[in-house]
Amino acid sequence: MIPKNLTAASTKLIILGILRQGNSYGYLIIKKIKELSGGKMKYSDGMLYPVLHNLEKEGLIQSEWVMQDDARPRKYYAITENGKKELVAEREHWVHVNSVLEAIWQLKPTK
Protein backbone atom coordinates (compact mmCIF):
# COMPACT_ATOMS: atom_id res chain seq x y z
CA MET A 1 0.00 0.00 0.00
CA ILE A 2 1.32 3.40 -0.92
CA PRO A 3 1.53 5.78 2.05
CA LYS A 4 -1.03 8.54 2.33
CA ASN A 5 1.25 11.53 1.95
CA LEU A 6 2.79 10.18 -1.19
CA THR A 7 -0.66 9.60 -2.60
CA ALA A 8 -1.67 13.10 -1.71
CA ALA A 9 1.44 14.59 -3.29
CA SER A 10 0.83 12.89 -6.58
CA THR A 11 -2.94 13.37 -6.84
CA LYS A 12 -2.73 16.63 -8.67
CA LEU A 13 -0.45 15.18 -11.32
CA ILE A 14 -2.56 12.07 -11.67
CA ILE A 15 -5.79 13.99 -12.15
CA LEU A 16 -4.25 16.34 -14.68
CA GLY A 17 -2.76 13.37 -16.45
CA ILE A 18 -6.06 11.55 -16.66
CA LEU A 19 -7.88 14.63 -17.88
CA ARG A 20 -5.27 15.13 -20.61
CA GLN A 21 -6.58 11.97 -22.14
CA GLY A 22 -10.04 13.46 -22.36
CA ASN A 23 -12.80 15.06 -20.37
CA SER A 24 -14.16 13.05 -17.53
CA TYR A 25 -16.28 13.26 -14.41
CA GLY A 26 -15.50 12.52 -10.79
CA TYR A 27 -16.65 8.95 -10.54
CA LEU A 28 -14.86 7.92 -13.73
CA ILE A 29 -11.66 9.67 -12.70
CA ILE A 30 -11.48 7.82 -9.44
CA LYS A 31 -12.31 4.57 -11.12
CA LYS A 32 -9.47 5.16 -13.53
CA ILE A 33 -7.00 5.90 -10.76
CA LYS A 34 -7.93 2.75 -8.94
CA GLU A 35 -7.56 0.81 -12.14
CA LEU A 36 -4.17 2.27 -13.01
CA SER A 37 -2.72 1.77 -9.56
CA GLY A 38 -4.10 -1.73 -9.32
CA GLY A 39 -5.71 -0.80 -6.05
CA LYS A 40 -2.37 0.11 -4.52
CA MET A 41 -3.34 3.72 -4.17
CA LYS A 42 -6.01 3.90 -1.60
CA TYR A 43 -8.31 6.84 -1.72
CA SER A 44 -11.44 7.62 0.05
CA ASP A 45 -13.50 8.65 -2.93
CA GLY A 46 -14.74 11.80 -1.27
CA MET A 47 -11.28 13.31 -0.97
CA LEU A 48 -11.04 13.58 -4.73
CA TYR A 49 -13.64 16.31 -4.96
CA PRO A 50 -11.96 19.00 -2.86
CA VAL A 51 -8.86 18.47 -5.00
CA LEU A 52 -10.88 18.81 -8.19
CA HIS A 53 -12.52 21.97 -6.93
CA ASN A 54 -9.21 23.40 -5.91
CA LEU A 55 -7.68 22.67 -9.31
CA GLU A 56 -10.62 24.36 -10.92
CA LYS A 57 -10.18 27.40 -8.71
CA GLU A 58 -6.53 27.57 -9.72
CA GLY A 59 -7.66 27.55 -13.33
CA LEU A 60 -5.90 24.33 -14.23
CA ILE A 61 -9.13 22.58 -15.13
CA GLN A 62 -12.61 23.73 -15.87
CA SER A 63 -15.95 22.08 -15.37
CA GLU A 64 -19.28 21.92 -17.09
CA TRP A 65 -22.53 20.19 -16.34
CA VAL A 66 -23.55 17.98 -19.19
CA MET A 67 -27.18 16.97 -19.48
CA GLN A 68 -28.09 13.92 -21.44
CA ASP A 69 -31.51 12.67 -22.18
CA ASP A 70 -30.81 9.07 -21.48
CA ALA A 71 -28.39 9.29 -18.56
CA ARG A 72 -27.75 11.15 -15.37
CA PRO A 73 -26.37 14.70 -15.65
CA ARG A 74 -22.66 14.76 -15.07
CA LYS A 75 -20.18 17.40 -14.14
CA TYR A 76 -17.39 17.01 -16.63
CA TYR A 77 -13.93 18.31 -15.99
CA ALA A 78 -11.56 19.35 -18.78
CA ILE A 79 -7.94 20.37 -18.61
CA THR A 80 -7.12 23.96 -19.55
CA GLU A 81 -4.07 25.31 -21.35
CA ASN A 82 -2.67 26.38 -18.01
CA GLY A 83 -3.32 22.91 -16.72
CA LYS A 84 -1.36 21.41 -19.56
CA LYS A 85 1.58 23.67 -18.84
CA GLU A 86 1.36 22.80 -15.19
CA LEU A 87 1.33 19.13 -16.07
CA VAL A 88 4.54 19.48 -18.05
CA ALA A 89 6.16 21.29 -15.17
CA GLU A 90 4.92 18.76 -12.65
CA ARG A 91 6.13 15.98 -14.81
CA GLU A 92 9.59 17.46 -14.95
CA HIS A 93 9.66 17.62 -11.18
CA TRP A 94 8.74 14.00 -10.92
CA VAL A 95 11.24 12.96 -13.57
CA HIS A 96 13.80 14.81 -11.61
CA VAL A 97 12.86 13.10 -8.38
CA ASN A 98 12.83 9.83 -10.21
CA SER A 99 16.31 10.33 -11.59
CA VAL A 100 17.61 11.11 -8.15
CA LEU A 101 15.99 8.00 -6.85
CA GLU A 102 17.44 5.98 -9.73
CA ALA A 103 20.86 7.27 -8.88
CA ILE A 104 20.34 6.32 -5.30
CA TRP A 105 19.41 2.75 -6.14
CA GLN A 106 22.68 2.51 -8.06
CA LEU A 107 24.77 3.42 -5.02
CA LYS A 108 26.63 0.55 -3.48
CA PRO A 109 27.17 0.50 0.25
CA THR A 110 30.76 1.51 1.00
CA LYS A 111 32.58 -0.41 3.60
Partner 1 sequence: MFDLEKEIKQWLKSFRKHRAFDHGSVREMELHLRDHIEDLMASGHSEQEAFKLAVAEFGDINSMAGEEFLNLKRKTTWRSVIHAAMVKNYYFTAIRHFLRHRNYFLINLSGLTIGMACFIMISLYVVNELSYDRFHSNVNNIYRVNTKFTNPNGAGDRAVSHSPLARTMLNTYPEVESATRVLRIGTLRIGTIDSGREHYSEDGILYTDSSFFDVFDFKLVKGDPKTALVKPASLVLTETYAKKYFGDEDPIGKQIAVEDDNRFFYVVTGVVADVPANSHIQFDMLISLSTSELWNDDRWIASSGVHTYLELRRDADAKALEKKMQDVVYKYLGPEIEHYSGLTMAQWEKAGGYTGYYLIALKNIHLYSTSTEELEPGGRISYLVIYALVALIILFIAIFNFVNMATAQSALRAKEVGVRKVVGSTRGGLVFQFLLESVIVSLLAAIVAGILVTLLSPMFTGLLGKQLAFGIASHYVGLLSLLTLAVVVGLLAGAYPAFVLSAILPIDVLKGTLHKGTRAGWVRNFLVVAQFTASMVIIIGTMVVYQQLDFMLTRNLGFNKDNILVIQRPDVLKEGQETFKNGLLANPNISVVAHSNTLPGKAYPERSYRPKDHDESFVFKFNHVSHTFRDVMGLEMVTGRFFSKEHRLDSNAVVINEAAAKAFGFENPIGQQLTSPWHQGEFLTIIGVVKDFNFESLHKPIAPIAMELMPENSNQGGFITVRIGSDENMRKTVQYIESTWARHSNGKLFEAFFFDNDYEKLYQSEIATGKVLVVFASLSIFIACLGLVALLAYTVALRKKEIGVRKILGAGMGSLVNLLSADVAKLITIAALVAWPLAYLGTRYWLQNFVDQIEIKAWLYLSATGVVVLICGVAVSFQVVKAAMENPVHSLRQE
Which residues bind to partner 1, rule: CB under 8 A?
Answer: 25-27, 31, 43-47, 49-51, 53-54, 57, 65, 72-75
CB within 8 Å of 87: residues ≥ 6 apart: 13, 16, 17, 20, 79
Helix (H, G, I), strand (E, B) or coil at 66: strand
In the complex, the smallest distance separating the C-beta of residue 84 from partner 1, rounded to whole angstroms, is 22
- Pick the closer one to partner 1 by CB: 35 or 102: 35
Q: Are 77 and 63 in contact (CB under 8 A)?
A: yes
In the complex, the smallest distance separating the C-beta of residue 9 from partner 1, rounded to whole angstroms, is 15
* Cα–Cα distances in angstroms (integers) from residue 16 to residues 1, 5, 76, 87, 103, in the given order: 22, 18, 13, 6, 27
Tell me the one-letter amino acid at 94.
W
Helix (H, G, I), strand (E, B) or coil at 62: strand
- Pick the closer one to partner 1 by CB: 11 or 87: 11
- Pick the closer one to partner 1 by CB: 70 or 102: 70
In the complex, the smallest distance separating the C-beta of residue 23 from partner 1, rounded to whole angstroms, is 15
- Pick the closer one to partner 1 by CB: 22 or 73: 73
In the complex, the smallest distance separating the C-beta of residue 61 from partner 1, rounded to whole angstroms, is 13
